[in-house]
Chains A and B, each alone.
Chain A
Amino acid sequence: ETGVTQTPRHLVMGMTNKKSLKCEQHLGHNAMYWYKQSAKKPLELMFVYSLEERVENNSVPSRFSPECPNSSHLFLHLHTLQPEDSALYLCASSPLRSSYNEQFFGPGTRLTVL
């Protein structure tokens, strides 16, 4: 149990669907992150939230829309995705300005876009 949960664990969607990925952390952290891991590619940072404000957006297409309603929850809203968006989407959290700078990852959501 890492303290970071993600739902659903698996998701299959068509290109015209709208779906959302959910992340919840129970660690009292104030920073949350979305990463994408495509097949045979390194993990890529997508979004960073600090105290519920987005502080980094790594040139992610607008078909991915993050939302952080509070410090414990992070969503990734998906719409009109492409098959190449199929990947493992990982959420992470961390304390702010901690001396360890350790990020805690969830198990990920395996997304398949048909």
Chain B
Amino acid sequence: DAKTTQPPSMDCAEGRAANLPCNHSTISGNEYVYWYRQIHSQGPQYIIHGLKNNETNEMASLIITEDRKSSTLILPHATLRDTAVYYCIVRPLIYSGGGADGLTFGKGTHLIIQP
């Protein structure tokens, strides 16, 4: 999997938009950008993924730059429950080994939502 770079921590005020950056300058043409988050002492949770177009779902928006070398996850109205470690992962949507591939996690960004 291509390497990603994320800031180790960020603060955001409750009710404001949280913008989490991720650099993935070595991303390949067939690799998607995935975001997961892990709330303290829980398992990671899938948030969103995209290839080159911006994506939005009920949890967040994903903005991918035109050259695909970086992306930003946006939580539009952050709440205290959004405090978590957010992981940016790049990986292809093709499979080796029988159709299942594990995820390679980095250290992520610890997002702290301040009241």
Contacts and interface: CB of A to CB of B under 8 A. Distances in A.
Contact of A33 (B95, B99, B102): B102
Contacts, number: 80
Interface in B62-115: 91, 93, 95, 97-108
Contact of A108 (B43, B45, B99, B107): B43
Q: Which 4 A-B pairs have the closest CB atoms?
A: A105-B43, A50-B98, A31-B100, A45-B102
Contact of A45 (B41, B44, B104, B108): B104
Given A42-B107, A101-B32, A101-B34, A107 B42 contact: yes
Given A42-B106, A100-B49, A101-B93, A94 B43 contact: no
A103 B95 CA distance: 14
Interface residues of A, number: 36
Main secondary structure of the interface of A (DSSP, over half): strand
A111 to B, nearest CB: 13
B98 A55 contact: yes
Nearest to B94: A97
A25 B61 CA distance: 28
Contacts of A99: 93
Contacts of A42: 105-108
Interface of B: 32, 34, 41-46, 49, 91, 93, 95, 97-108
Among B105, B106, B108: residue with most chain A CB under 10 A = B105
Contacts of A50: 97-100
A45 B106 contact: no
B90 to A, nearest CB: 12
A48 B102 contact: yes
Contacts of A55: 97-98, 100
A43 interface: yes
A106 B100 contact: no
Contact of B44 (A30, A43, A48, A100): A43
